Amino acid sequence: MNLILLFEDDFVESGLVEIKGRRLDHVKQVIRTKVGEDLTVGIENGKIGKGKVTRIDDDILRMEVVLDIEPPPPIDITLVLALPRPSVLNRTLIAAASMGVKTFYLINARRVEKSFWLSPKVSQENIREQLILGLEQAKDTVMPKVIFKKGFKPFVEDELPQLIEGNQAILAHPVKGTVPLRGQTGTPVILVVGPEGGLIDYEVEMLKSIGFKPVSAGERILRVETIVPVLLSKLTS
């Protein structure tokens, strides 16, 4: 936690904040801040700045905050992710949010196990928790949007064609003969990452037919939580 993310509810009056729970525990146990010291803070979807700690109790931390710095710029990559297994989902959301992704689509695909959709982790509440962890890691405040699309075909046929207008449409596809991925700057990107085991041929063909270009990040097949940072990094360098 390199920044404590604040929410409107945390403000007891203008410039005065009280936090408890996980954030308080983290300050006490990890950052070990004392009264009179400053914490790096930021308000959800707003500026970042300093919080001067004026009181720490067992169950509350109070600070006077000044928010005067813009959060870091986002990266202009929309991540379309076949729903991974729940533990991988959490780690991938944290990693991608920390790297600045602001729009996620979680989609179905043939090789997405149906049980994944039933996990309690596939809820806006859990997802928001992971996104907060990612923002806190990267000193960012701008909450990403996560949109569920449980129908692969209607999403690809009816929605993706509009979404990719003006974007580079890139499909991560570790198959021999695909183009190695190289950084390309300027144009926003829509990046599709398939499930463990990959998209099936029919799904790949459908994406290609609407304009997606299959690219490879190398011969080795990597976990979703590993390939996503690699691809985001390559696409922004």
Measured from the CB atom, the residue of 75 and 190 that comes closer to its own copies is 75
Place of tokens 């954030």: 23
The answer to whether the CB of 62 falls within 8 A of the CB of 101 is no
CA distance 112 to 125: 21
3 state SS of 111: coil
CA distance 229 to 82: 16
Listed ranges 6-14, 47-55, 138-146, 155-163: which one lies at the site for its own copies (CB under 8 A): 138-146
Q: Residues 194-213 vs its own copies: string with x where CB under 8 A? A: --------------------
Sign of CA dihedral 171, 176, 181, 182: negative
Q: What is the smallest separation between the CB atom of 86 and its own copies, expressed in angstroms?
A: 15
Residues 2-21 that bind its own copies (CB under 8 A): 2
* 160: contact with its own copies by CB under 8 A: no
Q: Which helix (H) or strand (E) holds 168?
A: strand 168-172
Q: Residues 72-111 vs its own copies: string with x where CB under 8 A? A: x------------------x--xx--xxx-----------
β-partners of residue 42 are 5, 48
**Contacts with its own copies, residue ranges (CB under 8 A):** 2, 72, 91, 94-95, 98-100, 137-140, 182, 217-223, 225-226, 229-230, 232-234, 236-237
